[in-house]
């Protein structure tokens, strides 16, 4: 039996969407006919993840008792007995509860693979054994569950599920990762921007290394010797002589221009008796290479150019950097056999750079020219700084200042590695430091970096890197003041906009409550008048008249009751007390419930849907309440004998539900419409209202569409929809078609 294939969705941190991606892949394969089951799914209460699992066959978990507590784990034997084509198994690094056959979940997965079952699983980068110490230094958290790297390396496919730290923190704030009582602690500890950035970089680099391994394996299998410039690899040849430090620094600058490039320093050991004399210089140069983030190797070889080329081709190098001294140039003129010349002639697709090694005597004649060039450079720099300072001030005054972009301009202007604008805010125990904005790699998250520039009583610019002199420091301070001013200006504008929004909201609520009170008074007055007629008429009122008066009283009381319910629900929505459960919902079932709730009013509603309308992702109860509320008002607005029209279509992966009446022109929001809009917002949907053509009003509710259902062979659905014009299916409710 062939071994199954392993696919891993790798993420930098919890919440990036690994389980969702795994379930989406499972649904995709299930949709094309593959036998897929959920061996173990950990939704962690995330509603979108749970919704993605809808329709998948899930193997029940095994219950295990351990030390007086009850736990559930994947039932390995049940999955093996079921023997699907694909099994979805979450959290590959998980440790099983004692009492299971295997101590680790990855060992369970190995049994599934040996049985010929393909497995799709998930993994966080911090659970890899080789990175556990690094992630502990970054996050301060000791990982209790780790996975041997060779298990992940054996995977047939590894896909990175990537998300920026900012987006991940927004997901956290919106409650899409942890429950509300854990959000604040997570944001201030594990989910800090610096932690997430470092974990993301680890994940990207680890995946890049796996891709590189696959590329090298492919090149070896196909005998490809020509370098492929998938990544810049700079090989610097080290002779162990004075002046090689300049060559190393030059090569390091070349590598730094391309993020992700490699710097490889090589010294060729020749049997010429000079190795001992170069030991001290080589040690110094080895340390310099390490400081630049490169690696240093010594390899034996009598033919230096051939040895360097052989090494460069084996490493898929794209560039070679060598030192060219005065002696080398003289030797070239006399013999044409210098090492750089021979290497350049045979390098073919590899670029060769020659860097001069110059002594003090040869630099002296150039001092005057260098001084002149320095003065010109300083003048140009001063002009550029003045222009940049002007741009910063102009951006702030126009209100267009984006703090991260401004900080990035400052970072580039002064050649800094990273900058952060820090702010101290008071809390119960004292001031806390927060990162307002940052730019560069690994920006400071607090004071104590290479340079701290106080900007105000509460703000400081923290820098990684060095500023050359007092003049530059003065300009840096001025730039930092402009950025801080921009932050303050933006906050002031935001506060003013929020105050204006709240004031408008208060006016809107006051008008809404006034209109609701007026409507309630009208209905109560109607009920009182009917009651007075009943009391005055006594037994002399005809039965038909008595029934009409009672019906009018009942209608008025129902209307007031509905207004009270709407007010109560609106208060619950504004208080955040409405919970939603999103899942695929049949639109026909929702409409049937709405029409039942309308009672006799449903006789004046016409429903038209396109053929093969997919399910919608919604909370069934909330969607029913929204549509019923809008429909009830639309029926009340429409003239007698003119039906309210409901249409549903599916453009661009969204289901648009349109409710059109033929009443008066669109006015301010009513209580029912306001409640429907707020309920739609709570569900993540949109509700819009506009004037309809020919008079009246159209309310549009837009809901995400689930996967489309299979066509029903052209027949009507559920006995309520029959073929209509223009390839649509239409259900019309008229007085003769429904009683009460």
Residue-range domain boundaries for the chain? 6-221, 233-358, 376-498, 518-574, 583-737
- For 435-459, what is each residue's pLDDT tens digit? 889 998 889 988 888 888 888 888 8
Nearest to 610 by CA among 645, 660, 655: 655
Tokens of 252: 């390091």
State the pLDDT at residue 724: 33
Residue 378 has pLDDT above 80, yes or no: no
Asked whether 320 and 308 are in contact (CB, 8 A), the reply is yes
214-218, 556-560, 711-715: least confident range? 711-715
| Range with top average pLDDT, 60-69, 166-175, 500-509, 681-690 | 60-69
At 508 the pLDDT is 58
- How far is residue 588's CA from residue 428's CA, in Å, rounded to a whole number? 54
Q: Is pLDDT at 229 greater than 60 in this prediction?
A: no
For residue 661, which of 617, 700, 712, 609 has the smallest C-alpha distance? 700
Q: Which residue has the higher pLDDT, 636 or 645?
A: 645
List the CATH code of the domain at 233-358. 3.40.50.620
Give the C-alpha separation, 105 to 90, whole Å.
9
Residue 319: pLDDT above 60? yes
Nearest to residue 703, comparing CAs of 687, 691, 692, 721? 687
Residue 329, pLDDT score? 46
The pLDDT, as a whole number, for residue 718 is 32
Say how far apart CA 261 and CA 273 lie, in whole Å.
Answer: 35
* Residue 118, beta-bridge partner list: 86
Least confident residue range of 474-478, 540-544, 598-602? 598-602
Find which of 423-437, 681-695, 709-723 is predicted with most confidence, using mean pLDDT.
681-695
Beta-strand relationship, 418-426 and 431-440: antiparallel
Of 644, 631, 621, 636, nearest in space to 555 by CA: 636
pLDDT score of 714 more than 50:
no
Average pLDDT, integer, range 299-312: 83
Q: What is the pLDDT, as a whole number, of residue 311?
A: 83
440: left (phi over 0), alpha (psi -120 to 50) or beta: left
Task: Kindly indicate the confidence band of residue 226, based on its pLDDT and cuts at 50, 70 and 90.
Answer: low
Question: Is residue 428 scored above 90 in pLDDT?
Answer: no
C-alpha span between 120 and 87 (Å, rounded): 6
Look at residues 192, 248, 719, 671 and name the one whose alpha carbon lies nearest to residue 420: 192
* 6-11 vs 118-124, strand pairing mode: parallel
Q: Does the pLDDT value for residue 335 go beyond 50? A: no
- In sequence order, the β-bridge partners of residue 453 are 461
**Where does the pLDDT of residue 655 fall: very low under 50, low under 70, confident under 90, or very high at 90 and above?**
very high
Name the pairing type of β-strands 262-269 and 233-237: parallel
Q: Which CATH topology does 376-498 take?
A: Beta-Lactamase (3.30.450)
Compute the average pLDDT of residues 342-367. 64
Residues in CB range of 549: below 8 A, 6 or more apart? 530, 533, 534, 541
The torsion angle over the Cα atoms of residues 504, 507, 511 and 514, rounded to 10 degrees, is 150
Q: Is the pLDDT of residue 314 over 90?
A: no
90 vs 7: CA distance, rounded Å: 11
Average pLDDT estimate for 40-50? 88
Give the least confident one: 133-142, 191-200, 371-380, 486-495.
Answer: 371-380
β-strand 319-324 against 295-300: which pairing, if any? Answer: unpaired
Question: Confidence class of residue 736 from pLDDT cuts 50, 70 and 90?
Answer: very low
pLDDT at 360: 45
- Please report which confidence band the pLDDT of residue 646 belongs to, taking 50, 70 and 90 as the band edges: very high
- Please determine whether the domains at 6-221 and 233-358 fall in the same fold group of CATH: yes
CB 319 within 8 A of CB 232: yes
Q: Taking 60 as the threshold, does the pLDDT of residue 399 lie above it?
A: no
Name the pTM for this structure: 0.39
* CATH of 583-737 among 3.20.20.70, 3.30.565.10, 3.40.30.10, 3.30.1150.10: 3.30.565.10
Fold of 6-221: Rossmann fold (3.40.50)
Beta 233-237 vs 86-89: how paired, if at all? unpaired
């Amino acid at each position: 039996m062939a071994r199954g294939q392993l696919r891993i969705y790798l993420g930098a941190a919890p919440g990036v969407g690994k389980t969702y991606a795994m379930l989406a892949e499972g649904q995709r394969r299930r949709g094309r006919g593959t036998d897929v089951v959920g061996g173990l799914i950990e939704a962690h209460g995330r509603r979108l993840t749970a919704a993605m699992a809808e329709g998948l066959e899930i193997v029940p978990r095994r219950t295990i008792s351990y030390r007086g507590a009850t736990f559930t784990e994947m039932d390995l034997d049940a999955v093996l007995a079921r023997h699907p084509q694909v099994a979805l198994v979450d959290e590959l690094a998980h440790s099983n509860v004692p009492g299971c056959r295997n101590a680790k979940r990855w060992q369970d997965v190995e049994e599934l693979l040996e049985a010929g079952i393909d497995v799709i699983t998930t993994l966080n980068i911090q659970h890899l054994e080789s990175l556990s110490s690094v992630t502990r230094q970054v996050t301060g958290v000791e990982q209790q569950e780790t996975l041997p790297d060779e298990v992940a390396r054996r995977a047939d496919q590894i896909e990175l599920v990537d998300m920026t730290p900012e987006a991940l923190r927004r997901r956290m704030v919106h409650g899409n990762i942890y429950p509300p009582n854990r959000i604040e602690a997570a944001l201030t500890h594990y989910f800090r921007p610096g932690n997430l950035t470092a974990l993301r970089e680890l994940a990207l680099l680890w995946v890049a290394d796996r891709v590189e391994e696959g590329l090298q394996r492919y090149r070896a299998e196909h005998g490809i010797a020509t370098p492929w410039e998938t990544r810049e690899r700079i090989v610097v040849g080290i002779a162990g002589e004075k002046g090689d430090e300049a060559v190393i620094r030059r090569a390091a600058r070349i590598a730094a221009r391309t993020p992700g490039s490699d710097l490889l320093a090589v010294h060729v050991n020749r049997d010429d008796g000079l190795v001992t004399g170069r030991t001290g210089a080589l040690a110094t140069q080895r340390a310099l290479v390490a400081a630049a983030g490169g690696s240093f190797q010594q390899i034996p070889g009598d033919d230096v150019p051939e040895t360097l080329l052989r090494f460069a081709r084996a490493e898929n190098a794209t560039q070679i950097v060598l030192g060219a001294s005065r002696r080398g140039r003289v030797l070239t003129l006399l013999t044409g056999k210098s090492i750089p010349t021979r290497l350049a002639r045979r390098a073919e697709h590899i670029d060769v750079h020659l860097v001069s090694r110059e002594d003090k005597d040869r630099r002296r004649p150039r001092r005057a020219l260098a001084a002149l060039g320095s003065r010109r450079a300083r003048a140009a720099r001063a002009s550029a700084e003045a222009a940049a300072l002007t741009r910063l001030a102009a951006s702030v005054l126009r209100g267009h200042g984006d703090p991260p972009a401004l900080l990035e301009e400052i970072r580039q202007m002064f050649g800094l590695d990273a900058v952060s604008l820090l702010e101290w805010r008071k809390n119960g125990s004292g001031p806390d430091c927060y990162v307002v904005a940052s730019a560069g790699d690994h920006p400071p998250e607090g004071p104590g970096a290479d340079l701290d520039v106080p900007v105000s009583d509460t703000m400081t610019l923290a820098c990684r890197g060095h500023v050359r002199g007092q003049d530059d420091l003065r300009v840096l301070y001025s730039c930092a003041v402009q950025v801080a001013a921009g932050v303050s200006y933006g906050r002031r504008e935001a506060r003013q906009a929020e105050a204006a929004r709240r004031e408008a909201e208060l006016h809107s609520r006051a008008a809404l409550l006034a209109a609701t009170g007026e409507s309630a008074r009208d209905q109560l007055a109607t009920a009182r008048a009917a009651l007075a007629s009943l009391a005055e008429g006594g037994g002399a009122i005809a039965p038909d008249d008595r029934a009409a008066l009672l019906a009018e009283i009942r209608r008025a009381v129902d209307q007031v009751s509905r207004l009270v319910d709407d007010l109560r629900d609106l208060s619950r929505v504004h208080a955040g007390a409405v919970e939603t459960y999103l899942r695929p919902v049949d639109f026909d079932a929702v409409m049937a419930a709405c029409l039942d709730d309308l009672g006799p009013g449903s006789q004046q509603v016409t429903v038209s849907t396109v053929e093969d309308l997919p399910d919608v992702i919604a909370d069934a109860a909330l969607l029913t309440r929204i549509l019923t509320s809008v429909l009830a008002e639309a029926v009340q607005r429409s003239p007698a004998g003119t039906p309210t029209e409901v249409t549903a279509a599916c453009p661009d992966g969204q289901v648009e539900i349109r409710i059109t009446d033929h009443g008066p022109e669109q006015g301010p929001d009513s209580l029912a419409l306001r409640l429907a809009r707020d309920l739609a917002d709570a569900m993540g949907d949109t509700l819009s209202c506009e004037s309809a053509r020919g008079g009246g009003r159209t309310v549009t509710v837009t809901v995400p569409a689930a996967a489309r259902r299979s066509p029903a062979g052209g027949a009507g659905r559920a006995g309520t929809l029959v073929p209509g014009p223009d390839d649509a299916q239409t259900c019309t409710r008229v007085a003769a078609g429904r009683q009460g």
